[in-house]
Chain A
Amino acid sequence: MDPRRYSRVIDPKVRQVGFCPRSGQVQNQSGPTGPSTSPPVSHISPSSNSLSPVMIPPPRHPSDAASRAVNVPATATTPLRPRRPSFDDPNNNSSSTEQLVVSSYNPDESVLGTSPPFSGIGDDRDGDAESEFSDNSVNWIRQNDSGRFPLSLAPDGRFDSAAAKEKQSKKPQVGSRKERGGGQTAEVRNDLPSESKPLKEKTSKAERRALQEAQRAVKAAAKAGGNKSKAASLSAHEQTNKAAKLPLQRKDDGPVTSSAAVSERRGGERPPEKDRKKDAPAPRMQFDDKNRVEKAKKRSVVKQTEARNRVELFRHLPQYEHGTQLPDLESKFFQLDPMHPSIYKVGLQYLAGDIRGGNARCVAMLQAFSEAIKDYSTPPEKTLTRDLTAKVNNFVSFLIECRPLSISMGNAIRFLKSRIAKLPITLSEAEAKSSLCSDIERFINEKIVIAEKVIVEHAVTKIQDGDVLLTYGSSAVVEMVILHAHKLGKQFRVVIVDSRPRFEGQALLRKLVKIGVSCTYTHINAVSYIMREVTRVFLGAASVFSNGTVYSRVGTACVAMVAHAFHVPVLVCCEAYKFHERVLLDSICSNELGDPDAISKVPGRMDINSLHDGTNKENLQLLNLMYDATPPDYISMIVTEYGMIPTTSVPVIVREYGREHLLI
């Protein structure tokens, strides 16, 4: 087998999780493995079952993409076949032949797919093929590429191309038609685009290029040859034209039906494509792109003066002159009509730094939304669902201007929007509003308040008498864990590691000292020293990504790494609503920049504050990162409300419970 295929299949993320909830889904996702690993599963694959037998279905029948594929050739084969070679050979051999080769095994597929009286293996194969088509284009091509090899290497050895031809003749109806059509090539051409939309794009691109080249050649020929060769070139032109027309035609009728069919087929098992698109994270604004930044500025409510001396590597992140935004936003207080006061207040508090911490920000935002929804009334001639969604979008963009959203807030917003979208149209406005408010309340309650309690219950079991716990900064959940453990009468000591510029740990320290927990307070530069005596590290997180990366207050990665080096278990406490399906590899791509002055100023040390005067120097750039990414290797365990899981299980939670955000 093709090595590439191996690597794809034994992707650690898929393998290590090893979670196969619904056969159909797995079948669809990991296409080609189906036949070789689990034939019985593919037997019940719905896609193969749903295929109607031989007859040619009405063209727009959704469930039958494969038979549709057979339908198309009937119209297109004959004109196409003779032209093709003349088109391919002189112009662009490589690309078009590649298509040919790639798809050379497809006719079998389509044929097999439509013919029911078949061996078990055949069935497997066609189920397999179905699933392949539903994959995205890149995979598709790759699979196809490699698919050729398994074809010839298949256990029976029947599936090489020769065998396939043999098969065709065996088949009563479809086969005969195909043979009349003559070559595989023609059929191949035709069912390619109709079967899978993404591939069609690929083909047409190649063809477009071919066409272009042909035209160029024709022009050159016309110039060179003059009148003599005009006739010839004309004919050539005609040929290319016709060849070009064909894909165009196909473009017209093919994708419509096929995409409908594809999405329909998917519909049963996964959310329809539209939803998936919505779920996909919107491309984030890259702030080193000047044009877009300018545009965004025009739209923005909050005055944003870009900081001048930004660190090169982090240019793509928003960084504004601190201290200019707040007064400006304040002065506009009465000029922002559409903004609800509660949203405005929360935005101000974000901007001023009054509210910090993932949970608090999220709760504050949700409460503000709930207030705004309570005061909302649908304008005449508008529907609540749409108008409210637009309103919420407005609010969100305002909040983003005040401070970039955290992942947890993004999840919460997604939840709210989906609730709005799913409101039954029959509900009256008052009912809809109250249902939304109760949804928000429930989200806060279940995903944050109760989740924290459960996490505390879980995490407390890991604290034993005589333990020395280390925590970094001030995490609300970790604080609750420690308080709870203390309440249970466990005997332990806490090391609080803190760092400039915020010294968040001091608040935690104050609380713990007050209730009588014995504490050690140190700064992060002493962490390697203090780690010797530590037995457990408890950390909070702003977010956990599906590759297990923990995104948290800057410095967390350092602590986790040191703990790992000292073989101290690192437990990250994080509510599951902060999980995100995105993969984060470094802390550069997505991060937040704080006020650079915060690190250049040292409170109470006038003698070394000279640096602060130099902030406008051209060659001085201050970097105050807010977050960092802790690689999964350094984390022993993530404590969520669903239990204590290894970092590798994050995608499971995201997949299994992620949708639940939308459903509660």
Chain B
Amino acid sequence: MDFQVVVLAGGFSKTLVPLVSKEVPKALLPVANRPVLSYVLELLEQNNLKDLIVVVESESAALLIGGWISSAYVDRLHVEVAAVPEEIGTAGALRAIDHHLTASDILVVSGDLVCDVPPGVVAATHRRHDAVVTAMLCSNPVSGSTESGSSGVKDKAKKRYNIIGLDPTKQFLLHVAAGVEVEKDVRVQKSILRAVGQMDIRADLMDAHMYAFKRSVLQEVLNQKEAFQSLRRDVLPYLVRSQLRSELLLNGVQSEENGNDKDASQNPKIVLSQLLANASTPSFHELHALGPNGFSLSPRKTHKCCVYIASNSNYCVRLNTIQAFSDINRDVIGDASHLSGYSFSAQNNIIDPSAVLGSKTTVGPQCMLGEGSQMGDKCSVKKSVIGRHCRIGSNVKIVNSIVMNHVTIGDGCSIQGSVVCSNVQLLERVVLKDCQVGAGFVVTAGSEHKGESLAKKEK
């Protein structure tokens, strides 16, 4: 179908410290005991997209991710792992792999996306409208479940809102204001508003970071706007802003770049294109291009920015915060269990056959127990994920938590709403509530922590 897929796997994300560490880049964070990247790769594989470019920030992360991919998908996918420098941004990453891009359209997927929306819908929408960019939007995740209500105060404070303007048919993107800009006034372009006549402004939509770009446009924008760092914050808003006035920007260069692809198809056969345009219901772009009287000699150059809005029945979340991490883990084991790829037992949980449970230990529904894990007596696990080869003593309570691999938990611990990374040692009678414990950390016996982030002092 002439699409190329680029998976932006990121590197060692700062926002996810202490979960990510030198050993575990963001893309390899376990979601239900599988790296989060595997969800994207499997989604793509299901959709018959087997030639992928995975872009990873920093060499060391690339090594880790490349190693994992080659072991897990050796005969299933043809993956090219490209390492780019850190802090280069998504746009920079694409700029770096510019020469690999050959297909007419590029599908850019974020590596931290956990969703079941087939990428085909985005691609199809993109093609149908002959758009320059098509973004997938999904409804904002309900962050923080009813039970872990008070989790992460800081998450709430900087909860992202996207202000997104759509046309009445909900097909075109008219306005994007992401994250930081939201607190300011919302400035909407008059020209767009005039052309469309009506704009729906939504704050309940989230950019899922799955984009289809027209390659020529993407490359031109990236090459000409050196300052652009992020696709979401720079490239997309730029394209949306300039969709009607590509030529009105009198900078020459820019006016060319956006109109180019449309123009090429329009000039040679004006009659035919008119014929086609007559028959189809014109979008506001075309109406605008024709000018106020419907017959301007030089049609204005426009391009289309489309959206695909995932329906509410689809699951679509990005793993970009700690809160999201625990939410996704909970959902993949719980509500969105079809994503996990495991088959659930009658008790609605997954207990690996090699796991050893002590007497009177109960593992509730929506739990997962990895292979080789041992649990002592009288433990209770509820709505939690426990990784491989964990040793858990007796009388341990684990609720709403994620325990990664090779964790040792002493007797009498209580873990609630927390994330415990690999190789952590919890000595006896530790009480954790809404904490994140970085990899390799040792929590002293009897300590109580609430809402803290515990990690080894690095370096």
Is B1 on the interface with A (CB-CB < 8 A)? yes
User: Could you tell me if A330 and B121 are in contact, using CB atoms closer than 8 angstroms?
Assistant: yes
Residues of B within 8 Å of A, CB-based: how many? 29
Scan B272-302; emit 1 where CB is below 8 A from any A CB, else 0. 1001101111100000000001110000000
Is A579 on the interface with B (CB-CB < 8 A)? no
Chain B residues whose C-beta falls within 8 Å of the C-beta of A112 in the assembled complex: none
User: Could you tell me if A355 and B49 are in contact, using CB atoms closer than 8 angstroms?
Assistant: no
Most buried by A among B120, B124, B125, B130: B124
Closest-CB distance, A477 to chain B (whole angstroms): 10
User: Could you tell me if B127 and A341 are in contact, using CB atoms closer than 8 angstroms?
Assistant: yes
* Residue in B119, B120, B123, B293 whose beta carbon sits within 8 Å of that of A514 in the complex: B293
User: Could you tell me if B47 and A334 are in contact, using CB atoms closer than 8 angstroms?
Assistant: yes
Chain A residues whose C-beta falls within 8 Å of the C-beta of B123 in the assembled complex: 333-334
Chain B residues whose C-beta falls within 8 Å of the C-beta of A344 in the assembled complex: 1, 124, 127
Evaluate whether A515 and B48 lie within 8 angstroms (CB atoms) in the complex, with A333-B1, A334-B1 already known.
Answer: no
Scan B128-140; emit 1 where CB is below 8 A from any A CB, else 0. 1110000000000
Is B3 on the interface with A (CB-CB < 8 A)? yes
Chain A residues whose C-beta falls within 8 Å of the C-beta of B294 in the assembled complex: 510-511, 514-515
User: Could you tell me if B1 and A341 are in contact, using CB atoms closer than 8 angstroms?
Assistant: yes
Evaluate whether A355 and B279 lie within 8 angstroms (CB atoms) in the complex, with A335-B47, A344-B1 already known.
Answer: yes
Closest-CB distance, A327 to chain B (whole angstroms): 7
Closest-CB distance, B2 to chain A (whole angstroms): 5
- Measured CB to CB, the nearest residue on chain A to B287 is A510
User: Could you tell me if A334 and B49 are in contact, using CB atoms closer than 8 angstroms?
Assistant: yes
Is B250 on the interface with A (CB-CB < 8 A)? no
Closest-CB distance, A154 to chain B (whole angstroms): 60
User: Could you tell me if A356 and B280 are in contact, using CB atoms closer than 8 angstroms?
Assistant: yes
Evaluate whether A476 and B279 lie within 8 angstroms (CB atoms) in the complex, with A330-B121, A334-B120, A344-B1 already known.
Answer: yes
Determine the distance from Cα of A354 to Cα of B280 in the docked complex, in whole angstroms.
5
- Measured CB to CB, the nearest residue on chain B to A329 is B124
Is B67 on the interface with A (CB-CB < 8 A)? no
Scan B383-401; emit 1 where CB is below 8 A from any A CB, else 0. 0000000000000000000
User: Could you tell me if B128 and A363 are in contact, using CB atoms closer than 8 angstroms?
Assistant: no
User: Could you tell me if B124 and A330 are in contact, using CB atoms closer than 8 angstroms?
Assistant: yes
User: Could you tell me if B2 and A341 are in contact, using CB atoms closer than 8 angstroms?
Assistant: yes
Scan A319-358; emit 1 where CB is below 8 A from any B CB, else 0. 0000000010111111111010100110011001111110
Evaluate whether A449 and B127 lie within 8 angstroms (CB atoms) in the complex, with A334-B3, A334-B49, A354-B280 already known.
Answer: no
Chain B residues whose C-beta falls within 8 Å of the C-beta of A143 in the assembled complex: none
Most buried by A among B3, B118, B129, B275: B275
Is B264 on the interface with A (CB-CB < 8 A)? no
Chain B residues whose C-beta falls within 8 Å of the C-beta of A331 in the assembled complex: 118, 120-121, 124
Is A359 on the interface with B (CB-CB < 8 A)? yes
User: Could you tell me if A479 and B278 are in contact, using CB atoms closer than 8 angstroms?
Assistant: yes
Is B271 on the interface with A (CB-CB < 8 A)? yes
User: Could you tell me if A363 and B125 are in contact, using CB atoms closer than 8 angstroms?
Assistant: no
User: Could you tell me if A354 and B120 are in contact, using CB atoms closer than 8 angstroms?
Assistant: no
Chain A residues whose C-beta falls within 8 Å of the C-beta of B271 in the assembled complex: 449
Evaluate whether A359 and B128 lie within 8 angstroms (CB atoms) in the complex, with A333-B118, A514-B293 already known.
Answer: no
Determine the distance from Cα of A348 to Cα of B123 in the docked complex, in whole angstroms.
11
Is A433 on the interface with B (CB-CB < 8 A)? no
Chain B residues whose C-beta falls within 8 Å of the C-beta of A316 in the assembled complex: none
Scan B1-12; emit 1 where CB is below 8 A from any A CB, else 0. 111000000000
Determine the distance from Cα of A330 to Cα of B125 in the docked complex, in whole angstroms.
7
User: Could you tell me if A357 and B279 are in contact, using CB atoms closer than 8 angstroms?
Assistant: yes
* Residue in A334, A354, A476 whose beta carbon sits within 8 Å of that of B281 in the complex: A354
Chain B residues whose C-beta falls within 8 Å of the C-beta of A327 in the assembled complex: 121
Scan A243-264; emit 1 where CB is below 8 A from any B CB, else 0. 0000000000000000000000
- Measured CB to CB, the nearest residue on chain A to B171 is A352
Is A444 on the interface with B (CB-CB < 8 A)? yes
Determine the distance from Cα of A479 to Cα of B275 in the docked complex, in whole angstroms.
11
Is A361 on the interface with B (CB-CB < 8 A)? yes
User: Could you tell me if A333 and B120 are in contact, using CB atoms closer than 8 angstroms?
Assistant: yes
Chain A residues whose C-beta falls within 8 Å of the C-beta of B120 in the assembled complex: 330-335
Q: State which residues 248-288 of B face A: CB under 8 Å.
A: 271-272, 275-276, 278-282
Scan B301-336; emit 1 where CB is below 8 A from any A CB, else 0. 000000000000000000000000000000000000
Closest-CB distance, A486 to chain B (whole angstroms): 12
Q: List 7 A-B contacts (CB under 8 A).
A: A330-B125, A331-B124, A333-B47, A333-B124, A334-B123, A341-B2, A357-B279
A residues in contact (CB < 8 Å) with B: 327, 329-337, 339, 341, 344-345, 348-349, 352-357, 359-361, 363-364, 367, 444, 448-449, 474, 476, 479, 507, 510-511, 514-515
Ranked nearest first, the 10 interchain pairs of A and B with the lowest CB-CB distance are A333-B120, A360-B279, A357-B279, A330-B124, A331-B118, A330-B121, A333-B124, A334-B47, A348-B128, A514-B294
If A344-B1, A360-B276 are given as contacts, then 10 extra A-B residue pairs at C-beta distance below 8 Å, sorted by A number, are A330-B124, A332-B118, A333-B119, A334-B48, A337-B48, A344-B124, A353-B281, A359-B279, A364-B276, A507-B282
